[in-house]
Amino acid sequence: MHVLILGGTTEARRLAAVLAEDPALRVTSSLAGRVAEPRLPAGEVRIGGFGGSVGLADWLRAEQADAVIDATHPFAEKISRSAATAAAEVHVPLLVLRRPGWVPVDGDDWHRVDSLAEAADALPGLGRRVFLTTGRQGMAAFAHLKDTFFLARSVDPPDRPLPPRLEVLLDRGPFTLDGERRVLREYDIDVLVTKDSGGAATAPKLTAARELGLPVVVVRRPETPSGVPVTDGVQGAVDWLTALAAGRSS
């Protein structure tokens, strides 16, 4: 079986490592190429876009893919839609692997919104010194806030346009609780903005914000494509492939 894994997430790399141990599988991981120095998974790797659903469908045919696992970032909505469309067109089974979202606990002061634009709208009433942890894309949503200080953290420099009062931290998770406490105190942060990415690598910022009593603006993740099976862990993806292989051989 030839399995295509979409995404450079932690879960995608873990899945590739597990599947690459199986000699009956050919594993290809596709990375979007948005990070200058990505962490490469086991198995074959391709970097760059497909050219939308049409290009992905062409690739699935040409490479004779037998299954697709969409393990992209929970907010990679465009490639998830393309994967669903292409897999349906080529009649290749598709599974979505999504880590669980974060859940608030006692003491959290979360303000949920549906987009970065809504997050920007919420900020004037919450604080004036913002720790922005939404990645390097989408900064344009905050560029009009002239009186707000932003500390933005991303792996690579953020895309323009940018807010006028901006400092950038180039860093890659996982992050520690002590480190997040230090950042919030050192920069006198009074509000945190994050996407509901889930996972443990970047969760310590939520604990640090709770300890300091800071409000957190949380952007809800988009829905997964309708009609596509979803699992929240690597083992679930392995079990899905095992059942798929058993069905092919029966």
Q: Which domains does the chain have, with CATH numbers?
A: 2-100+224-249 (3.40.50.720), 109-219 (3.40.50)
- In this predicted structure, what is the pLDDT of residue 38? 78
Q: Which of 98, 58, 38, 69 is nearest to 224 (CA)?
A: 98
Which residues of the chain fall short of a pLDDT of 70?
A: 34-36, 250
For residue 146, the model assigns a pLDDT of 95
Q: What are phi and psi of 85, to 5 degrees?
A: -65, -45
pTM of the model: 0.88
Question: Which helix H or strand E contains 192, and what residues bound it?
Answer: strand 191-195
Q: Looking at residue 36, what is its pLDDT?
A: 64
pLDDT digits (tens, 9 = 90+) for 2-24: 999 998 899 999 999 999 999 99
